[in-house]
Amino acid sequence: MGADAQSDAPARAGLLDVLHLGAKLGANVFRGAKADTGATVCRWARDAEAPRSAVDVDIAIPMLPLELVGNRTHSEQILAGRPGVDGLRAGKLKADAMSFLAPGALTIADGDAWQRLRPFNERVLGTGGAHPFAQTFLGHVRAAFAQPVQNRDDIAAAMGRAMVKIVVGDLPPNAPDPADDVTTLFGVVQSPIKRKLLGFLYRGRRKRLYALIGRKHDWAAEAGGREQERTLIALSGQGATGVDRETLLQQMPHWMFTFTGSGTDLLTRTLCMITSRDDVLAKVLAEIRIAGPADNAESVAHLPYLEACIRETGRLFPPVTRTFHRPVDGGARNEETVHYFPLLQRDDSLGPGVHDFRPERWLTTPVDAAAAASNLFLRGPRACPGQDLILFVIKAAAAKQLGELGLSARQDRLTRDPLPVSFPKLETRFTVSRRVQ
């Protein structure tokens, strides 16, 4: 009996930890806009970690064993492995969710599937440099953001318009908006209740989305679409060796949602951060003025300070806050590891300015410790293959809104350091606050 009681102790401790966290998050409800959920989770994790291990926090939850990774070295070791090849694969929670929409997506692929899909995604998305269709894509972004945005919804709508042109191209007459379809479907992916209880209600929408991208892909392949239409779908049909049609199509919803999901959040937050700091805004505007013609894709590459602002905003307020992995062999408990990025990126041991907005940290060689710890786009084999493309889109949209339209998205809570862990609720609508010369 003594041995049984001892073996049950971690599970009881883990359950108590979870109940403790639940109580803290519940208390945040009464704090309203002043609540900082991310800070609450980080404080709880460090309190739970202290009496146990300097490596990570084990939280045993009945029917759902999890390990919260609280140490950056441990996290980096996991992220450095090739999915399904070096011991770990996508977590079951993540795989089950994404499988509702795209079971063959790179983000949950492992082993041989990952090794086939990784180079395909890198080629189509232009990983590691300027995209071959950058000039065409710039025109789409500038057209989508031709008017000043007033809030996140406006940004999401503009990102959706740009996404349709960049990924899909021209739509057939009276075609449903694929941006709305993919955003709605990802809402189901991210909600276990919707997915398990109401998923059948969204099958028609999923079928409609795949029918559209399938028709566009087939047309591009038959008509030599690379010359006809400069889109990601057209490019995907060029040399897609080892990738069957169905799997190829399943890469696209994730590309599409990056624009209207995490890309929208990152752009919204970056505009708020830049215009909330007068000195930062002045530097960004000066850089935009000397970068070159606004309608030239090469000019976007001449905006390193603006890119640093985007990366710094993503370090402080990551639009994707967590990811999951599990052992290939299942392990003794088939335990999943959970990386909670605010916990890893806001570690006080990274330096006294870890909670401050300092774009300059990205412009040194090497970058400082806080920048090096950022998981905005992950890293190594798991790094986002579309990071260069989405950075290009965000820079182009921000340059248009700030440098040409005079946008201000100033938020009082963002004017001073240290910054909260969670991005504050937007206080006001965005405005045009100055005359553009």
The tokens for 365 are: 């060689």
Please report which helix (H) or strand (E) contains residue 57, including its range.
Answer: strand 57-59
Would residue 10 count as lying in a domain?
no
Report pLDDT for 43: 84
Would residue 18 count as lying in a domain?
no
Would residue 88 count as lying in a domain?
yes
Would residue 244 count as lying in a domain?
yes
Report pLDDT for 45: 80
Report pLDDT for 4: 41
Report pLDDT for 146: 98
Would residue 32 count as lying in a domain?
no
CATH number at residue 230: 1.10.630.10
Report pLDDT for 407: 97
The string of DSSP codes covering 347-393 is -GGG-TTTTS--GGGGSSSS--HHHHT--TT--GGGS-TTHHHHHHH
Report pLDDT for 38: 87
Would residue 31 count as lying in a domain?
no
Report pLDDT for 225: 47
State the sign of the Cα–Cα–Cα–Cα dihedral 158, 161, 162, 164: positive
Would residue 17 count as lying in a domain?
no
- The residue segments making up the domain with residue 122 are 71-432
> How many domains would you assign to the chain?
1
- Which DSSP letter does residue 257 get? H
State the sign of the Cα–Cα–Cα–Cα dihedral 73, 78, 81, 85: positive
Integer angstrom CA distances of residue 410 from 226, 314, 398: 42, 17, 14
Residues of the chain short of pLDDT 70, as ranges, are 1-33, 48-64, 223-228, 238-241, 330-334, 434-437
List the one residue out of 134, 89, 103, 80 whose CA is nearest residue 254: 103
pTM equals 0.91
The tokens for 145 are: 């953001």
Would residue 53 count as lying in a domain?
no
